[in-house]
Every structure is written in structure tokens, then in C-alpha cells.
Amino acid sequence: MTLSELLPSLGHAGLDRQLWPSTTHLDELGRVCIGGVPLTEVADEFRTPTYVLDEQDFRTRIRRYQSALPGVSIVYAGKSLLTTTIARWIAQEGLGLDVCSGGELATAMAAGVDPARIILHGNAKTPDELRDAAAIGVGRIVVDSPLEIAFLAGQVRARQTVLLRVIPGVDIGGHPAVTTGVDDQKFGFTIAGDRARDAVQRILNQPCLSLTGLHCHIGSQVADPTLYGQTIARMIALMADIRTRFGVTLPDLDIGGGHAVPYVAGDPELNLARFAEVIEHSLESACTAADFPRPALTIEPGRAISARAGITLYRVVAVKSQPGGRTFVAVDGGMSDNPRVALYGAKYTVALANRHTATPSATVTVVGRHCEAGDVIARDVELPADVHPGDLLAVACTGAYHHSMASSYNMVGRPPLVAVAEGRCRQLIRRETIADLLSRDCDVPSLPWG
């Protein structure tokens, strides 16, 4: 019999296997452990807040994609979470890497990633970013505007492979901030109005550019695989029309990522097996209908690989109950290390990580340290009623768009990122210090302390 069975109140730990890293368990003291390491030890060594990443979970999710989609090229979306170590994991697992800034490209190169396996994205790439990517020899540049076509044509010294980003006109029905497949948004060229076809003509007119395919992305947190089926049908129809108009048969189709993961119990998740079935059927049907040769398919998961591999540790600083109102549990981090609640109204799962308690649960709101009423970690969640200052809280599913979106708001340094595996910790990114922050201030004559 397990500890959880002996002590049912360990349900406070909230260890839903769909939300937490795959190696998560409780030890005999009721402490949450990941990668064989008690999180209390991580907090003691690296302080809080700290991002913790389960290497085994991260790699396992990659392998699930490879197993479910053996004929598909899988490219990791680096914007979700990227360091040089993570870039090496990606390369070791045989994935490509997509980047969308000069900094992400530099990280990939510092990690020794083969440039041929890199895709450069972005709706407003700078001339320097385009020039550097072409000079390095990245495998594909996704063209997102007419100006990029003209600039690349005038700058590249060797023939550069490009994809054209197309808006497929598929609405996922989500938050406007994460819906990218509809016409009225900043990415790509619409099918409507011949914008995409005009861009194809522009590229084909440039002998130094090699158009090998189309790219699209319909949005984030997409749980319904049939939306990808609709996307494939529209993209294949466009590729067939391009063949008819220009006599060019494009061999590559990249349908992006955006695969949904759950953040709280009951959230929908993209079923990989069903996704594989839908894209196979859709490709077969669309290519047969258009008498078009089947293109090589690429997908770009990011969040679906990194999100659940990561958690964030916080130390409780204060507990405050307002008369007739909420109980607020204030922690030592907040919107500077997780802006998604303020940006999207995102919801999270929180657990007491440092001890077992038999105390009944209470509904609380976990808030951050920043001077904003909207600085919230998780609203109306269940924690033990005896939660108190000094306790350690763990927030699940923070491996994607937390480290990568963190800021130094209120001059609070960004947290470290620590990988755990086989009972050991490894710091991937150190904590940002006050000295780091002041070092950018050109009028600081010297730091006020050593």
C-alpha cells in the first residue's frame, strides 16, 4: 500500500498525472519529488522562485511524438523554452529546431545545432536577423512579408531555401491572442485576395531563393485534431493551385504546432493518436482530390513537449484573509516569472510541496509580490487550511512560456532554471541578480555593495 493510500489527505498535493512531470511522486515525508529529487532540496540549494525541469519527462514527450508520427518531421518550437542545454537535448533526440529571433538563433548555434536543421520564424525579422540566418546557412527561412522577399533577394550570397507563411483561414475559436489562422492578424499571407499567390510569384522571380513549401500555424492550445485536417485540406488545395498557375510542385508542408496541454484538471488535451489519424486521412484525401503528390509534412510542437516537464517553486511570504473576501497566499514570485495569468487569464494547479498535513483544504488565491492587483498565480485553488509563511508551493505545467516570457518587473531578477534527472540537479540558467540589473544602468558609477 502506498503512502497516498494510507494517507488520503495527501490529495492536497494535487499530483494529477496529467498535469505534473512523469517522475513526480511523494516521499515518506509527504514532500513532492521530481526526477528523484525532493523539491525542498532544490529550494534550499537554489532558493525561490525557481523553475524546475524534468529532463526525463521532456525527452519522453519527444519520443511519444516520434512514435505516434513516424513519417513526420518534428521540429521543436524553441520559443516555448530554450537554453543551450535544451537545444542539445533536441539535437540528441533527432528533432529540428525553430527559432524566431537572433537570440534564439545564437543559442542554437552556441549549442552546436546543425544549421540545416533550423527554421527561422517571425513576422518582423530584422535585416540583421535575416542576414545572419542566411550567412549561417539555416535550413529554412519562413517568409512572412513582401519586404522579406526583397531583402533576402538582395542580401543572400548562396541559394536560400524558404517557406511561405500562409493564413489558412481556420478559426480555432480561442483567445484572440493565440488565434493565428484567421485572416485579420499579423502573420503571413492570406489565401483570400491572392496575397499568398502573389508572394509565390515574387519568390519564384528571385533566382537566389528556393521556395520548397508552405507554412501555417492556426493557433495555440488546439485540442480538436479535425482543425488540422481542415488546415491540410486548404493548404493542399493552394499547393495544387500553385502548381497549375506557376508549374511548380512544392514538396514541403509545415502545419506548425499549437497542440493543447492541460493546466488544470479537466482541461482538454490534443490526443496524439487521433491527431496522427486525422492528418494521415486528411493528407490522403486532399492529395487524391487534387491529384497532388503527397508532400513531406512537418509539425512544430513546443508547449506540448516542455510545459508539463516544468514546475515553478515559490516560498510563501504571507497569508492574509480579508473580511468577507478571499484568503490570499502571497509568494516570493509572480507576474515577472509567470505573466500568462495577467495576459491570458491562464489557470494553474498548485500543491503544497514541503510537507504532509492532515488539515482540511481551504479555497485560496495565490498572489505574487508585484505592485499590481492583477499579479496572480492561481485564483480560487484548494490548499491546506494551515498553509503558512515558509511553506513551499509548486505550480504545475510551467515549462512553456514562463522562463521565455519572464521579465525583471519591479527590478526583480528572473529565476534560475534547474534540470533534475536521476536524483541529481543541474543549473541550466542562473538567477538574475541585482548586480546584473544595475550593470545595464549607464549612470551607476559603482555598485553600492560588493
Q: What digits encode the pLDDT tens for the residues 110-149?
A: 999 999 999 999 999 999 999 999 999 999 999 999 999 9
Same domain, 423 and 379: yes
449 lies in some domain: no
What CA–CA distances, in Å, run from 144 to 150, 203, 300? 12, 12, 17
Yes or no: say if 106 and 136 are a contact pair by the CB < 8 Å rule.
Answer: no
* pLDDT attached to residue 163: 98
Same domain, 103 and 165: yes
Same domain, 230 and 373: no
Q: What is the mean pLDDT of the chain?
A: 92
Q: What digits encode the pLDDT tens for the residues 12-25?
A: 445 898 999 999 99
- Rounded to 5 degrees, φ, ψ at 328 are -105, 130
Please name the residues in contact with 381: beta carbons below 8 A apart, sequence gap of 6 or more: 348, 349, 350, 363, 364, 365, 366
395 lies in some domain: yes
Same domain, 35 and 74: no
162 lies in some domain: yes
Same domain, 151 and 285: yes
- Domains: count for the chain: 2
Same domain, 43 and 81: no
Same domain, 42 and 83: no
Last residue of a domain, one of 288, 304, 320: 304
Residue 191 pLDDT level (bands cut at 50, 70, 90):
confident
CA atoms within a 13 Å half-sphere pointing along the CA-CB vector of 1:
6
Q: Give the pLDDT mean for 285-299.
A: 97
447 lies in some domain: no
379 lies in some domain: yes
* pLDDT attached to residue 289: 96
450 lies in some domain: no
Q: Which strand (E) or helix (H) includes residue 281?
A: helix 272-290
Residue 34 pLDDT level (bands cut at 50, 70, 90):
very high
Same domain, 321 and 288: no
* pLDDT attached to residue 70: 96
Q: Give the pLDDT mean for 69-79.
A: 97
* pLDDT attached to residue 154: 86
What CA–CA distances, in Å, run from 411 to 259, 317, 369, 407? 34, 18, 12, 9
Same domain, 285 and 363: no
Higher pLDDT, 11 or 444: 444
CATH of residue 159's domain is: 3.20.20.10
Last residue of a domain, one of 304, 328, 363: 304
Give me the active site residues, please: 371
Q: What digits encode the pLDDT tens for the residues 213-252?
A: 999 999 889 999 999 999 999 999 999 999 999 999 999 9
Residue 157 pLDDT level (bands cut at 50, 70, 90):
confident
* pLDDT attached to residue 190: 87
- Does residue 173 surpass a pLDDT of 70? no
* pLDDT attached to residue 11: 40
- Does residue 304 surpass a pLDDT of 70? yes
Under DSSP, is residue 305 helix (H, G, I), strand (E, B) or coil? helix
End-to-end CA distance of the chain: 54
- The per-type count for the chain, helices as H runs and strands as E runs, is 13, 21
Q: What digits encode the pLDDT tens for the residues 382-398?
A: 999 999 999 999 999 99
Same domain, 319 and 354: yes
Question: Annotated binding site for pyridoxal 5'-phosphate, which residues?
Answer: 258, 300-303, 401
- Does residue 51 surpass a pLDDT of 80? yes
72 lies in some domain: yes
Same domain, 47 and 129: no
Last residue of a domain, one of 262, 277, 304: 304
Q: Please report, as a single letter, which amino acid is at residue 344.
A: Y
CA atoms within a 13 Å half-sphere pointing along the CA-CB vector of 342:
18
* pLDDT attached to residue 402: 97
Structural domain that includes position 318 = 3-54+308-438
Q: Does the bond joining 49 to the residue before it have cis omega, within 30 degrees of 0?
A: yes
Under DSSP, is residue 142 helix (H, G, I), strand (E, B) or coil? strand
Residue 449 pLDDT level (bands cut at 50, 70, 90):
low
Q: Give the pLDDT mean for 288-308.
A: 98
Distance, in Å, from the CA atom of 240 to the CA atom of 260, rounded to the nearest integer, reads: 30
Same domain, 149 and 211: yes
CATH of residue 395's domain is: 2.40.37.10
* pLDDT attached to residue 3: 43
201 lies in some domain: yes
Q: Give the pLDDT mean for 401-423.
A: 97
* pLDDT attached to residue 1: 41
The mean-pLDDT minimum among 193-197, 270-274, 359-363 falls in: 193-197
